[in-house]
Chain A
Amino acid sequence: MNKKTIFLSIAVVACIAAGAAWYLAQKPVERSLTKEADIVVNASDLLAAFTADETAAMARFAAEGTVVQVNGTVRSIDRSEPSKVAVILETGDPLAGVVCEFEPAFAPDWKDGMDVKVKGACTGFLMDVVVNRCAVVE
Chain B
Amino acid sequence: MNIRTSLLVAALLPLLASAQDKYATRNGEISFFSHTAVEDIDAVNHKATSVLDAATGAIEFAVLIKGFEFEKALMQEHFNENYMESNTYPKATFKGKVAGVTAEQLKTAGTYEVTVSGELTIHGVAKPVSSKGTLVSDGKGAVKASSDFIVKPADHGIKVPGGVNVAEEIQVKARIDYQKL
Chain A interface residues toward B at CB < 8 A: 24-30, 54, 58-59, 62-64, 78, 80-81, 83-84, 86, 94-95, 97, 99, 101, 121-128, 130, 132
Contact = CB atoms under 8 A, between A and B. Distances in A.
B77 A64 contact: yes
A123 B64 contact: yes
B76 to A, nearest CB: 6
B71 interface: yes
A62 B87 contact: yes
Interface residues of B, number: 29
A101 B8 CA distance: 19
Contacts of A27: 72-74
A130 B73 contact: no
Nearest to A103: B69
Contacts of B1: none
B47 A99 contact: yes
B153 to A, nearest CB: 20
A124 B11 contact: no
B87 A26 contact: no
B46 A81 contact: yes
Interface in B47-93: 47, 49, 62-67, 69-74, 76-77, 80-81, 87, 90-91
B3 A130 contact: no
B103 interface: no
B73 A123 contact: no
Given A84-B46, A94-B3, A124-B66, A29 B71 contact: yes
Nearest to A75: B4
A25 B73 CA distance: 8
Contacts of B125: none
Contact of A28 (B8, B73, B80): B73
Contact of A128 (B26, B63, B80): B26
Contact of B67 (A25, A78, A83, A124): A124
Contacts of A58: 87, 90
Nearest to A29: B73
A64 B81 contact: yes
Contact of B66 (A62, A78, A97): A62
Contacts of B87: 58-59, 62-64
A27 B4 CA distance: 38
Contact of A126 (B47, B69, B72, B80): B47
Nearest to B49: A126
Contacts of A126: 26, 47, 49, 62-64, 91
